[in-house]
Structure 1
Amino acid sequence: MKKQLSERDICTKYITPALERSGWDILTQIREEFSLTDGRILVRGKLHARAKNKRADYVLFYKPNLPIAVIEAKDNNHSVGDGMQQGLGYGELLQVPFVFSSNGDRFLFHNKIATDGIIEREIGLDEFPSPKTLWEQWCLHRGLSAPQQKLITQDYYSDGSNKTPRYYQLLAIDKTIEAISKGQNRILLVMATGTGKTFTAFQIIWRLWKSKAKKRILFLADRNILVDQTMTNDFKPFGSAMTKIKQRQADKSYEIYLSLYQAVTGNEEEQKIYKQFSRDFFDLIVIDECHRGSAAADSAWRQILDYFSAATQVGLTATPKETKEVSNIDYFGEPIYTYSLRQGIDDGFLAPYKVVRIDIDKDLEGWRPAAGQRDKYGNEIEDRIYNQRDFDKKLVLDPRTQLVAKKVSDFLKATNRFDKTIVFCENIDHAERMRQALVNENADLAADNSRYVMRITGDNDEGKAELDNFIFPESKYPVIATTSKLMTTGVDAQTCKLIVLDQRIQSMTEFKQIIGRGTRIKEDFGKFYFTIIDFKKATELFADRDFDGDPVQIYEPQHPDDSPVPPELSEDEDFTDGYPEPEGGFEWTNGEDLEDVEDMGVRRYVVANVEVKVIAERVQYYDSSGKLIAESLKDYTRKTLTKEFTSLDDFLVRWSSADKKQAIVDELAKEGIFFEALADEIGKDCDPFDLLCHIAWDMPPLTRKERAERVKKRDYFTKYGDRARRVLEALLDKYADSGVGQIEETQVLTVAPFTQFGTPLEIVRIFGGTAQYQEAIRDLKRSLYTA
């Protein structure tokens, strides 16, 4: 009897009751069919699909915020340990020490921290360990005292819904709380852009605040918009306990403080509002985007952290800054948890990307002026070869700007002209010229609404005022934003579908930050992936071995006698792009935006009468590791099929034995095989069976109509009565029109022409009942695919 039960029945009748008998609470500690990932989004052409997500049959929580064990169930036709390897994979993802596998007869118990040396053993259904038993083993292994356990088991914030932080957020929160419970006062968390750093920070602060382990807390960011977004979104539950620090204001009656770095620092002593607080005022400081100002040891921003050195300090970043001059790791220590862009894309939480590489002749070949040639303003151009390093910095080729604007506009016209787009330029001057060129290329839409294209840079109040509208999903305008530095980080542009790189990018940190502007998924707005159009070979950084790797410290502390590093301009909120001097002068650091400083006051030659053309354009797809995927859909399909099936015979056996052919089609779609796109290339009326056989094994493809005609010629229907024959002929016509998936579903009997034969129940009775009808369908499919 047990052999006939499904896997779900085994869970309901045997595994869940065993857990309840052992003291596990079904409401708060047992989570069945627990989704760990969303499933990677696969992109081919203009189509996308999701791969199968990872889902554990059970995740057991000691407290709602503390996963402690995984159970993988199988039906009773499997052995007790058949699910163990799958369960271990899920356990590794959640970093839990206890994994169980069961087929309803017994459990196989994998105990990673077993003290007797026996890691795996079988136990009976009535021997499942209690929550207290597993928790005590874990605490003993990790050396957690009773006070530490009390802090670690403090619940996270819940609004009453069933929403649980994603698995990597749980790990980041729990690891941070545990580190703090053990007295660690400098902590670094590395989480890719778009993975919820601010939400994670909120849950960390909430638990420490609620447990009274930390009573006064400062959250630091470096953009005004980030602070405001944080207060109104993730931090909203703090309510009246929370305030925003403003310049010359130091109200000490609150518990949660949010501030810009710049609001509490300044060049003059009296501007440094943080000194109005005592050094031990804050128990905890959380620094958002800590790769920026606080990475440099001599920055004014670091002064805040040094002043409140007694506080526990947690740094958050997607891209820790590690150069010879500046280092997050030197200050915070090695990251206690890293969740990378690669993992986020692979898990399906972040949007993948495709790259359109466009090479321009003058960029690759260079350009040299004729003897005595003057630019369009009458300046004689210095005689030398100018190349990509010079363009838009020392030399402007107007036709090049116009060509870039045209290629971007052509792409949008071929996809959607209202897809949010960010164009990254070399500097403010370049961003303004690009704005003008894009306006002219989109004159119809720009005339309809002047905000269709906007320059959003640090020096321009009108542009900055539109930043909120650009990132607000429901706001139609602006559509295209030209920028240089202001939008490289911290701008939560959830619906951005196109990123244009017309900027030379040499920094891996900056590259990752820019790519991060597109990685958010917004399904309700049709945003599943994004496109990068690269004019300056910036995407070659994808091939860098350090792309998305673990941060490596390369910091070289300077000896006092060493020459100082040349000063560089900090990315002040209002002066990110460099040009206007803030009141009180510039703040210089050792880490940001040297090129903007060099740009100031530089004469640029502007040349109008030169021919510029595209010499290469190609679409490239990258996997989650940043490796190039073959562009050809046919090549990818062939490669995937030969991995899945050893031969044509293997495929034919699998296809013939499948009760529903559509299930194979759906499974292959999750591997990135898009049948609609293949049909466009090979023949729209081909069956998926023919598409696959043709691409992978070079078999001549038949159309669905040709397959249907072959069945009719075989006198296949003669064994059925007249009414049944007419139903089958109608099903065959439906197959010829719409494919095998249609005839496999009984819902097809509810539409014309089947309604003329009666209700679905009456049609099934024509064949003698449901079993006979299903056998007739199977027979029809066998006939369709008979060689």
Structure 2
Amino acid sequence: MEHFAPAVQLGLTATPRRKDNVDTYDYFGEPVYEYSLHTGIEDGFLTPFRVREYTTRMDKYIYTGDDEVLIGEVEEGREYTEADFNRKLVIQAREKYRVELFLQAVDQRQKALVFCATQAHAALILDLINQLSDSLHADYCQRVTADDGARGEKALKEFQDDERTLPTILTTSQKLSTGVDASEVRHVVLLRPVNSMVEFKQIIGRGTRLHDGKEYFTIHDYVEAYQHFQDPEWDGPPQDQTTSRPYVAPEDRRVEEVADEGLNELALCPDCDNHPCVCERPRREITEIRLSPHKVVQIDSMVRTMFYDSSGRVISAEAFLHQLFGDLSELLKDEDELRRLWSRPETRRKLLQTLEEAGYSDAQLEDLRRLVQAENSDLFDVLRYVAYSKKVLPRLERATRARAYLSDYDANQQEFLNFVLDQYVKAGYEELDDSRLGALLVLKYHSVPDAKRVLGNPATIRQAFIELQGGLYRESA
């Protein structure tokens, strides 16, 4: 660098400060400008995200005599917590249930990265995903860790190739938290605690790459990592790791505990899974438990969706609803205005655009519909429910009411408008956009000229299409 000393030198980095890159910061000094994740999302250079938080009855465990100890010894009366699972204690039924929850929640064709506690845990999760997924391909899920060597590198390269669909899911422990550029990643799954803010940012970064059709990615949080979002360091200057906690000699720590200091998983001993190698020391015993049948049945869960608001904070669903209520009150004078705007395609589009500019993306509004258990209802009814506490009507009920207003049309027009209502019930309000009219005519009559022969001139068809929506969203008597 000194060779170029007369020139102006500009240092750019996307890596937070840590021990293995501290020389960069020493050379260039403190950053003069920082570009946050939130700003990158807001400017359209990074993909926004949502958070799904999972809690189960097996997030903590105390041994009881009806469970079977398969391997090792269990400490009776001890409460095992997330930090113990899959390092000191393995309960396969617990891991299976978590995998089932994940697979049920996602489109299984979308790519995902799963972060596990250890390499052995990553192997277990790989087996469970391949057993429980809908895919019949043996390569659907693969593991990429130090033990996997060239095979793992090959799997990673294929995963990063947007033209390939397999492997679809990768499991890992530490290796993929940095240096993975896979733009199609739609899901980041956390099955192990992430104690370092630096590592947390790096893991979240695996999903932020832009890709066509990727409106957002989802963080599936089984370990309460969402608490990092409340930390001031989350979207601000990175914390200097050298002062983040008391120093402990590396030889006394497992690699998972020092990964944020720049140690790469490739340094793990393939036999003892530690860095540095501790093969000469007595290896810590891992206990494996088989739950009693009634406990397996009793494992239950709660899934909570967290939202990313317009200011860059991750907030709860309750806070999101409260915020939306306030914003709708400012955007709309009353329910009649909402109805008027929603009843015509052009004003509906403008309202949705206004909501998006206020921080409510299509994906978030779709999550909102699920949140209030209104998957079969119109978004209009969801907004009406949030803003004015009105009953949410199913789309089928709305369509049934609208059919009562079709008597003024001739038989052919009634047939087409009933067809439009059927499509609305199946797919939602998007079918009512005027940009969809041509496609609906072709779907019903095979071509636009054939539709014109049956229904009359285009202006008449369009007028009926628009008027139908007025009846669809009309206030019931």
TM-score over 0.5 for the alignment?
yes
Contact 1:327 1:555 (8 Å CA) reproduced: no
Seen in structure 2, the aligned counterparts of structure 1 residues 369 and 470 have a Cα distance that, compared at 3 Å, is same
Give the TM-score normalised by structure 1: 0.46
CA distance in 2: counterparts of 1:470 and 1:388, whole angstroms: 29
Structure 2 equivalent of residue 455 of structure 1: 143
Query: How far 1:506 sits from its partner (Å)?
Result: 0.9
1:411 is paired with a residue whose SS is helix
1:76-122 CA-partner distances (Å, limit 9, x unpaired): xxxxxxxxxxxxxxxxxxxxxxxxxxxxxxxxxxxxxxxxxxxxxxx
Q: Deviations over 1:514-569 (max 9, x none)?
A: 1111222322xx5432222222222221221211112366867xxxxxx9962467
Is 1:397 paired with 2:90?
yes
Q: Give the 5 Å matches for 1:413-432.
A: 415-432=106-123
* Structure having the higher Rg: 1
Residues 598 and 641 (structure 1 numbering): CA distance in 2 closer, same or farther, change over 3 Å? farther
Change (3 A) 1:503 1:683: closer
Return closer, same or farther for 1:577/1:616 CA change in 2, 3 Å cut-off: farther
Alignment pair present for 1:607 and 2:293: no
Q: Which has the larger helix fraction?
A: 2
Report the AA paired with residue 663 of structure 1: R
Q: Is the 8 A contact 1:397 1:608 kept in 2?
A: yes
Query: Is the aligned partner of 1:623 residue 2:308?
Result: yes
Determine the structure 1 residue equivalent to 2:249: 566
Q: Aligned pair in 2 of structure 1 residues 554, 403: CA closer, same or farther (>3 Å)?
A: closer
**Percent identity over the alignment?**
25
Between the aligned partners of 1:637 and 1:494, the Cα distance in structure 2 is 30
C-alpha displacement at 1:647, in angstroms? Answer: 2.1
The alpha-carbon deviation at position 645 of structure 1 amounts to: 0.8
- Residue 237 of structure 2 corresponds to 550
In structure 2, do the counterparts of structure 1 residues 616 and 515 end up closer, same or farther at CA, with 3 Å as the change threshold? same
Deviation for aligned residue 1:418 = 3.8
Runs of 5+ consecutive residues of structure 2 not aligned to the other structure = 256-260
Superposed CA offset, 1:629-655 (max 9, x none): 417998776555334213224435656
Q: 1:635 to 1:532 in 2, by over 3 A?
A: same
Distance in 2 separating the partners of 1:414 and 1:554: 35
Q: Could you state the TM-score of these two structures normalised by the residue count of structure 2?
A: 0.71
Displacement of 1:690 in angstroms is: 5.5
The one-letter code sitting in structure 1 at the alignment partner of 2:286 is: Y
What residue is the counterpart of 2:30 in the other structure?
334
What amino acid does structure 2 have at the position aligned with 1:551? P
> Partner of 2:4 in structure 1?
283
2:266 corresponds to which letter in structure 1? Answer: T
Do 1:749 and 1:755's aligned partners in 2 also have CA atoms closer than 8 Å? no
Change in CA separation of 1:785 and 1:397 when aligned onto 2, cut-off 3 Å: closer
Q: Offset at 1:443? A: 9.8
Q: Could you tell me how far apart the structure 2 residues matched to 1:761 and 1:616 are?
A: 53
DSSP-derived class of the 1:320 partner: coil
Select between 325-334 and 503-512 the one with higher mean Cα deviation: 325-334
Which of 477, 482, 502 is the matching residue for 2:191?
Answer: 502
Residue among 40, 46, 50 paired with 1:354: 50
Would you say the 8 A contact 1:620–1:628 is kept in 2? no
**Could you tell me which residue of structure 1 aligns to residue 331 of structure 2?**
644
Question: Which of 266, 289, 293 is 1:576 aligned to?
Answer: 266
- Equivalences for 1:19-38 in 2 at 5 Å? none
1-structure distance, mates of 2:433, 2:12: 57
- Write out per-residue CA displacement over residues 394-445 of structure 1, whole angstroms, 9 at most, x where no aligned residue: x22233xx42244224532553334333222222333334334444445973
Distance in 1, Cα, partners of 2:132 & 2:440: 52
Corresponding residue to 2:62 among 362, 367, 379: 367
> Counterparts of 1:392 and 1:548 in 2: how far apart (Å)?
30
Residue 332 to residue 554, structure 1, CA distance change in 2 (3 Å): farther
Contact 2:198/2:238 (CA < 8 Å) preserved in 1?
no
Cα gap change, 1:635/1:444 in structure 2, threshold over 3 Å: closer, same or farther?
Answer: same
Code of the aligned partner of 2:222:
F
Q: Which amino acid aligns with 1:641?
A: L
1:481 maps to which of 164, 170, 175: 170
SS in 1 for 2:52: strand
Aligned equivalents of 1:618, 1:774: Cα separation in 2: 43
Pair 1:319-2:13 in alignment: no
Larger relative strand fraction: 1
Change (3 A) 1:781 1:438: closer
Q: Deviations over 1:659-696 (max 9, x none)?
A: 84443464367433657985995585x77655644553
Shift of 1:512: 0.8
Task: Establish whether residue 672 from structure 1 lines up as the match of residue 361 from structure 2.
Answer: yes
Q: Which amino acid aligns with 1:628?
A: I
User: Structure 1 residues 649, 470: closer, same or farther in 2, change over 3 A?
Assistant: closer
Q: C-alpha distance in 2, partners of 1:453/1:312?
A: 44
Would you say the 8 A contact 1:397–1:610 is kept in 2? no
Distance 1:683 1:368 in 2: 40
1:341 deviation in Å? Answer: 1.6
CA deviations 1:160-183 (Å, max 9, x no partner) are: xxxxxxxxxxxxxxxxxxxxxxxx
Give 1:355's aligned amino acid: V
Whether the 8 Å contact between 1:406 and 1:438 is mirrored in structure 2 is no
Structure-2 change in CA distance of 1:336 and 1:606 (3 Å)? same
In 2, the alpha carbon distance for the partners of 1:522 and 1:572 equals 30
**One-letter amino acid of the counterpart of residue 390, structure 1:** D
Separation in 2 of the partners of 1:647 and 1:415? 37
Report the 3-state secondary structure (helix = DSSP H, G, I; strand = E; otherwise coil) of the residue aligned with 2:182: coil
1:345 corresponds to which of 41, 45, 50: 41
Which residue of structure 1 lines up, in the alignment, with residue 228 of structure 2? Answer: 541
Cα distance in 2 between the residues matched to 1:703 and 1:580: 62
Contact 2:142 2:170 in 1 (8 A): yes
RMSD value, Cα? 4.9
